[in-house]
Amino acid sequence: MRDSLPEWPLFGLADDVRPALAQARQRKIPVALATLVAVEGGGPRPVGTQMVFADGIVAGYFSGGCVESDVADHAFACLEDGEPRRLVYGEGSPWPDITLLCGARIEIFVERVEAGDPALAELLAAMVERRPTTWVSDGRRRVCALDAQAWEGAVSRLHDPVPRLVVFGSDPTALAIAQLGVLSGLETTFVRSKGPEAPPPIPGLGYRRDDPQAALDAIGCDAWTSIAVATHNIDTDREALAAALPSAAGYVGLLGARKRLAERLAPLRAAGVPEQVLARVHAPIGLDIGGKAPWEVAVSVIGEIVSLRHPRTPEPAREAPSKRDRATVS
């Protein structure tokens, strides 16, 4: 008999299940990988959400407690017999006693993945090397490659690199931004040029003491990298912006009053930095939520980064009928 799920579902805080897959692979044990493949009626989690189950391992969540325990039962049964499963909860479910409080209908695909599976090795290699890749599987045959095409009955799921955050600064506001970044699942590095040798006492936070350009060169910037310049020093701000703006980072934000933005950008403009590059700066940094305390600023910054990663179209004046989302199933 499998162990019950923990009473406090901290496992659900892990939105990216790849670290759990890596842990199982390191232990050389198989996992049951569950993927949300269809949602109807506004479920709490989007198509593509995943959970992982293995001996001593559980990560992810689908519904906030409505179905997880039942999915775990099917996942461990899948580990026993190796047979893939499609689970339906809500309308048309064979388990009408299990309901989602939101009234949604969801479908979940469960498959057993061996520790030595080549597709799993490629998925985890792509994560380490920060390459997007696509997982395609019908539970018996699977491939993992950026250009992988789904076949009939297969599930397809694109995996982007882990979002990365670089914070330049030294004060409580910069530290709050960095700590919330770590808690939000961002691969976060704090940069304080010539700062203390000891790193900030924040678990999971990277730390660098070199100048901005050297720091960004060492960290590496790509489309999944966000940079928050929050130094409260105009010279350091300029140096950090000079390194950040020409980079491939998908987001560059600057802490400070709007009226001082021109002053910070003037040397870069004089040095010939194109206007379209200068226009990349989000300043003042973060969403306008009104607060100025360190944690309030941190919430606004991480909120802006997340909102840009998940752009939404404006809602219509009247609520439209719900539509079924089957984008990832062939």
CATH code of the domain covering residue 231 = 3.40.50.720
Residue 305 CA to residue 29 CA, distance in Å, equals: 36
**What is the rounded CA–CA span in Å between residue 86 and residue 74?**
10
Q: Which domain holds residue 46?
A: 10-117
Q: Note the pLDDT of residue 264.
A: 84
Asked if 162 and 127 touch (Cβ cutoff 8 Å), the reply is yes
Residue 256 tokens read as 């400070």
Number of domains in the chain: 2
Note the residue count of the chain: 330
Whether 150 is in a domain gets the answer no
Does 33 reside within a domain? yes
Question: In this structure, are 93 and 201 located in the same domain?
Answer: no
Judge if 174 and 272 occupy the same domain: yes
Whether residue 143 lies inside any domain: the answer is: no
Tens digits of pLDDT across the chain (330 residues): 577 888 899 999 989 999 999 999 999 999 999 999 999 987 789 999 999 999 999 999 998 778 999 999 999 999 999 999 999 998 888 888 787 877 788 999 999 999 999 999 999 999 999 999 999 999 999 999 999 999 999 999 999 999 999 999 999 999 999 999 999 999 999 999 999 999 999 999 999 999 999 999 999 999 999 999 999 888 999 999 999 999 999 999 999 888 888 888 888 899 888 999 999 999 999 999 999 999 999 999 999 999 998 876 655 443 433 333 333 444
- Which of 59, 86, 117 finishes a domain? 117
Per-residue CA distances from 281 to 121, 218, 262, 268 (Å): 38, 22, 11, 12
Write out the two tokens for 328: 């990832």
The per-residue pLDDT for 192 is 98
